Amino acid sequence: MIDVTDGLRWIGEHAHEEKRLATGMLGGISLTVARGVEAEDFLVRLGAESEQLQCHDLYKERYELAAPPGLNVSHAMYGTCGDWLYILEDDFMGFATWWAGYRTVAAMAPLVGEEIICLTQNRHDAPPLILHAPGDGQTWEAEFKGETERSSVLDAALHAAGAVFPSFYAGTASSTEEESRYFEEHLHELQPAVFAAVGNYCGITIDRASVEAGDLPLAVFPSLF
């Protein structure tokens, strides 16, 4: 039986799985969460059409819908938990739409008063990244295994979850080798820890069963690559 109170850790536990589900998602999920925004407004800023959102299609129905002619699209699912909107994507490129566009698409730029956290897998443009727009209009980022060094409360959550790996770099070959060895030994712990930290920071849970079944609402974004 699936534990529906497992926060977000389960997303990271399946991060390296390549198999995609016909109905929903499980492996290689990128996550964007936002608060201080209206859900439909934020999804439209990412490229979704209001008309499509108002149809209330489910993610599992995505292949039954006509795709816009001549347009490559990314299918996402979304929901809300408390004050947060969450968006899940498992595009084969492994990136989150917000990460791909926030610097170049004016509508996606973080506004003062809205907080955004993005965990993008970046399978074809490694490494995976943590991005945090804390509400001041700025965005800070770090690789998985690091901290933003700007968002103290989020960084504390990353440390508490074991998502910040120690750095042994001291300009010598031995320290570099030691750091590489530590990373390889603990790599399997990293993704679950990062997702758990963000879940703890936000206080949100996403029901794994609903995600696997594709029972969450569908959002269709134009591909930015």
Q: What angle do CA 166, 170, 175 make, to 5 degrees?
A: 65
Confidence band for 36, pLDDT divided at 50, 70 and 90: very high
Number of domains in the chain: 1
Q: What is the mean pLDDT of residues 212-222?
A: 97
Cα separation, 176 vs 158, in Å, equals: 23
180, part of any domain: no
Tens digits of residue pLDDT in 45-69: 999 999 999 999 999 999 888 776 7
Q: What is the pTM of this model?
A: 0.91
The pLDDT score that the predictor gives to residue 2 is 34
Tens digits of residue pLDDT in 159-213: 999 999 886 665 665 667 777 787 677 778 999 999 999 999 999 999 999 999 9
159, part of any domain: no
143, part of any domain: no
166, part of any domain: no
Residue 81 or residue 19, greater confidence:
81
Mean pLDDT of the chain: 90
Tens digits of residue pLDDT in 92-130: 888 999 999 999 999 999 999 999 999 999 988 889 999
Range of the domain at 208: 9-138+203-222
